[in-house]
Amino acid sequence: MHESFAYAPAPESVRPALKPVYGLFIGGKFVEPKSGKYFTTINPATEQGIAQVADANAADVARAVAAARKAFPLWAKTKPAERAKILFRVARRVQERSRELAVLETMNCGKPIRESRDEDLPLVAQHFFHHAGWCDKLSYAFAGATARPIGVCGQIIPWNFPLLMAAWKLAPALACGNTCVLKPAETTPMTALMLGEILQECGVPDGVVNIVSGGPEAGRAIVALAGKGVDKIAFTGSTEVGKLIAKSCAGSGTKLTLELGGKSPNIVFADAALDQAVEGIVSGIWFNQGEVCCAGSRLFVEESIHDDFIARLKARMAQLRVGDPLDKNTDVGAINSRAQLDTIERYITMGSSEGANCFTAPCDLPAKGFWCRPTLFTGVQPSHTIAREEIFGPVLSVMTFRTPEEAVQRANNTTYGLSAGVWTEKGARALEMANRLSAGVVWLNTFNRFDATAPFGGYRESGFGREGGRQGLLAYVKLGSDAARSLKSGATR
Amino acid sequence: MSTTRVEVAKTLKLYVNGAFPRSESGRTIAVKDARGNIVAHASHASRKDLRDAVDVANAAQVKWAAATAYNRGQVIYRIAEMLEARRAEFVSLITAIEGRTKSAAAKEVDHAIDRTVCFAGWSDKIAAVLGGKQPVAGPYFVFTMPEATGTVAVVVPDATPMLSVMTLMLPVICAGNAAIVIAPLSNAPLAAALGETFATSDVPAGIINILTGLRAELCPWIASHRDIQAVSGAFLPAADAKALELGCAENLKRVCMYRDAPAFTDDGFWHSPFAIAPFVELKTVWHPSAL
């Protein structure tokens, strides 16, 4: 009767109300860029334009920083409980407009609507809600120290979770009384610009948040002002760029936090609940097309179950639905840009040429747009490029181990240290693995979980500083002496 | 026939891996007292000495971090006991070499000892103050805990070397890191006495290492060394601070550089857990929670 149980198309019907042209959001309104330049931001699934967006240059960034400087004294002095109410309002308004924002995110970014709707947007709202509550509780957050805002924060964010990264940066900065210049990624400015409208609507004072869309020039201009108008730099992106930023900031006294790349291990022991582990591996590497800094891109399987586990994984891969990101049944959407697709394809070619065995999920790809099939490499050696370098795409490298010690040693054998996953039913082993893995986030029998209360960030070359929770606030305050025991007040760390 | 007894002069050496080697370079530099008389020759540490110290520090750090926090606290308390026993020696070294009054020297020594006691108490409280259980919005048990960063280079300013060394070194070792202290040559006798104190304080070999050397010479090598995980410095000349920060960017070492901070005498600032925070990594661990 039923030839197949194929899914009927289920496209999201909401269309966000967009303007044809977006200026820069500076001083509380959208203004024409001094650069005079605009570029078309596209939908990577269709390659069609979404809107014209301003391309900020150094003069535009200077203007945004000046606006943030001007707004700082008043915002820093605003009664914390009043700041809180404004941020709570932002959280509520994001919830109200979450469907529209989710669709826009998916259109601009390529990620499946199921993810932007169920993961990104709820986390965005939670992030504002959580941090709103901190505004009037900062004096309780730092044992015995006084917390003061830093000043103007220059915040540069990536294209993989555009709105969520904006929330991770803005919410704690604003809660602590700072003002911000935010640069969304070149390919994904849309939701940040819509967030600008929401902030304005919710009563965030003019100049407290400034949003400058643009490319590397705008990013470099923000970093160039470190110590000269910008008091803090927060960056999420590649380790390569992170190092350049750290160098530019050297000697300037600017506070810096970096959330960078990863090559995170996902370790499956023979005693794991295997089907659950398969789901975890799938979410670990194919969530958001693998364009996730903490993606579980190196899979270590205990040797004794390797063949069985890989067979289960391949069977599951065959079920992944790749295609229209706006379809509610889609599991894997479009790669964010042509450039990123080229990078991923280069790595896939390299994986085969260096001797690993390539398997790709059997599926059809749309004719237009940037697509990459979920890809799995077995027989990978630790020396292979695909085992060492961050690919930032849906490519999983599989290796094996025999003992827990070997698993730890191989998992830690990387310059990165962002996340790690462990799959085992033995409690003591899970906890000891958590102790020994060098990673800022360890997921035991789960993967890719995030929360506004849970600090996120890396060890080693995955960067420094944390985002989320009480620990994340540290990135946005200057701490002073405990007044009761201090000889001199005023200086801060 | 003279009856004057000839004093036995101490050969000043480095303190590395619980032992007292001379600089492999064979270099020494004269140390003068406040009156300008040469009182000793300091071992002038080289790049190779630094690299040797990094190797032993990294090897020792793993065990030190794995020791219980209670144990680390007791070892640091033992340092305070040993410092107290040699109090008079430290006072006289500061008085003689730096030309400060006896009471000023005594004040610095007492402060350094009391600060040591303070940090002896921090080791098993850092996790409570910097970490915690996270109330995430889902069925997960989530906790955040601080872990040692690794081997930390501690670059000490010239003034008040005893309080400087202790103030910058204690937060580092208290959290389970190993320290390589770059101490000024100007009071190398004091650095030597500190090394001897640590060597008799149950501090495992390699956890505290002291190199007397020229900061400007060693800073670029510290910054570019791949197996140093963090750098601590305070009140350094701008050029040294920048050299450290530039090199550290190469492999994203953590840099804790105090420029405009209260003086080391300020307990409200320097006894804070946030003096320790730069030398820990926060690890957040998730597990599903279900029956």
Contacts of A462 (CB under 8 A, 6+ apart): A239, A259, A260, A261, A262, A293, A416, A417, A418, A439, A440
> Which member of A246, A449, A482 has the closest CB to residue B252?
A246
Q: Do B287 and A242 touch (CB under 8 A)?
A: no
Let me know if residue B108 belongs to a domain. yes
Q: Which domains does chain A have, with CATH numbers?
A: 21-260+458-480 (3.40.605.10), 265-444 (3.40.309.10)
Here the ipTM equals 0.96
Quote the pLDDT of residue A222: 98
What's the rounded Cα separation, in Å, for the pair A357 and A416? 25
What's the rounded Cα separation, in Å, for the pair A212 and A224? 15
What's the rounded Cα separation, in Å, for the pair A314 and B202? 55
Task: Write the pLDDT tens digit of every residue in A115-143.
Answer: 999 999 999 999 999 999 999 999 999 98
What's the rounded Cα separation, in Å, for the pair B70 and A154? 41
Tell the burial category of A205 from Cβ atoms under 10 Å away from its Cβ (0-12, 13-18, 19+).
middle
For the record, the structure tokens of A392 come out as: 């930032």
- Kindly report the nearest CA distance between residue B116 and chain A, in angstroms: 17
Domain span at B131: 28-288
Catalytically annotated residue among A259, A302, A390, A467: A259
Contact between A257 and A234 under an 8 Å Cβ cutoff? The reply is yes
Count how many domains chain B has: 1
Q: Do A488 and B267 touch (CB under 8 A)?
A: no
Task: Write the pLDDT tens digit of every residue in A342-389.
Answer: 999 999 999 999 999 999 999 999 999 999 999 999 999 999 999 999
* DSSP annotation string for A16-59: ----SEE-EEETTEEE--TT--EEEEEETTTTEEEEEEE---HH
CB atoms within 10 A of CB B123: 25
What's the rounded Cα separation, in Å, for the pair A329 and A368? 19
Chain B residues lying within 8 Å of A451, measured CB to CB: 134, 136-138, 140, 142
Let me know if residue B33 belongs to a domain. yes
Buried b (16+ CB within 10 A) or exposed e, A146-174: bbbbbbbbbbbbbbbbbbbbbbbbbbbbb
Chain A residues lying within 8 Å of B142, measured CB to CB: 451, 453-454
**Cβ of A273 under 8 Å from any chain B Cβ?**
no
Catalytically annotated residue among A135, A176, A180, A293: A293
Q: Do A440 and B229 touch (CB under 8 A)?
A: no
Confidence band (pLDDT; 50, 70, 90) for A68? very high
Helices B69-85 & B102-120, crossing angle to 10 degrees?
A: 160
Task: Write the pLDDT tens digit of every residue in B228-261.
Answer: 999 999 999 999 999 999 999 999 999 999 999 9
Task: Write the pLDDT tens digit of every residue in B96-141.
Answer: 999 999 999 999 999 999 999 999 999 999 999 999 999 999 999 9
Q: Do A487 and B241 touch (CB under 8 A)?
A: no
Confidence band (pLDDT; 50, 70, 90) for A485? low
DSSP tag of A136? G
- Percentage of chain A beyond pLDDT 70 is 97
Contacts of B190 (CB under 8 A, 6+ apart): B90, B93, B94, B97, B161, B162, B183
Q: How many helices (H) and strands (E) does chain A have?
A: 17, 20
> What average pLDDT does chain B have?
97
- Kindly report the nearest CA distance between residue B220 and chain A, in angstroms: 13
Contact between B218 and B211 under an 8 Å Cβ cutoff? The reply is yes
Chain A residues lying within 8 Å of B234, measured CB to CB: none
Helices A162-175 & A98-109, crossing angle to 10 degrees?
A: 130
A-to-B residue pairs, Cβ atoms closer than 8 angstroms: 156
Confidence band (pLDDT; 50, 70, 90) for A481? confident
Q: Do B130 and A461 touch (CB under 8 A)?
A: no
What's the rounded Cα separation, in Å, for the pair A244 and A260? 12
**Cβ of A126 under 8 Å from any chain B Cβ?**
yes
What's the rounded Cα separation, in Å, for the pair A12 and A438? 41
User: Is the pLDDT reported for residue A28 higher than 60?
Assistant: yes
Chain B residues lying within 8 Å of A487, measured CB to CB: 262-263, 265-268
Let me know if residue B12 belongs to a domain. no
Q: Do B136 and A451 touch (CB under 8 A)?
A: yes
Chain B residues lying within 8 Å of A415, measured CB to CB: 251
Asked if A293 is an active-site residue, the reply is yes
Quote the pLDDT of residue A6: 78
pTM, two decimal places: 0.96
Contact between B162 and B173 under an 8 Å Cβ cutoff? The reply is no
Quote the pLDDT of residue A2: 57
Quote the pLDDT of residue A488: 57
User: Is the pLDDT reported for residue A5 higher than 90?
Assistant: no
- Kindly report the nearest CA distance between residue B226 and chain A, in angstroms: 10
User: Cα A341–A347–A349 angle (5° rounding)?
Assistant: 100
Quote the pLDDT of residue A482: 75
Question: Can you tell me which residue has the tokens 């990624």?
Answer: A185
- Give kind and range of the element (H or E) at residue A99: helix A98-109
Q: Do A471 and B144 touch (CB under 8 A)?
A: yes
For the record, the structure tokens of A33 come out as: 């860029």
CATH number for the domain spanning B62: value is: 3.40.605.10
Q: Do B287 and A446 touch (CB under 8 A)?
A: yes
Question: Can you tell me which residue has the tokens 């000490």?
Answer: B156
Let me know if residue B114 belongs to a domain. yes
Let me know if residue B44 belongs to a domain. yes
Contacts of A158 (CB under 8 A, 6+ apart): A165, A185, A236, A237, A293
> Which member of B134, B261, B263 has the closest CB to residue A453?
B134
CB atoms within 10 A of CB A80: 17
> Which member of A249, A454, A486 has the closest CB to residue B268?
A486
Average pLDDT value for residue range A20-40 = 98
Helices B188-199 & B87-98, crossing angle to 10 degrees?
A: 170
Confidence band (pLDDT; 50, 70, 90) for B266? very high
Q: Are strands B140-148 and B280-288 parallel, antiparallel or unpaired?
A: antiparallel
Helices B102-120 & B87-98, crossing angle to 10 degrees?
A: 130
Average pLDDT value for residue range A228-253 = 97
Contacts of B138 (CB under 8 A, 6+ apart): A449, A451
User: Is the pLDDT reported for residue B194 higher than 70?
Assistant: yes
Let me know if residue B75 belongs to a domain. yes
Tell the burial category of A319 from Cβ atoms under 10 Å away from its Cβ (0-12, 13-18, 19+).
exposed
Three-state SS letters, A365-415? CCCCCCCCCCEEEECCCCCCHHHHCCCCCCEEEEEEECCHHHHHHHHHCCC
Contact between B51 and B225 under an 8 Å Cβ cutoff? The reply is yes
Q: Do A479 and B241 touch (CB under 8 A)?
A: no
Quote the pLDDT of residue A14: 81
CB atoms within 10 A of CB B84: 16
Chain A residues lying within 8 Å of B265, measured CB to CB: 487
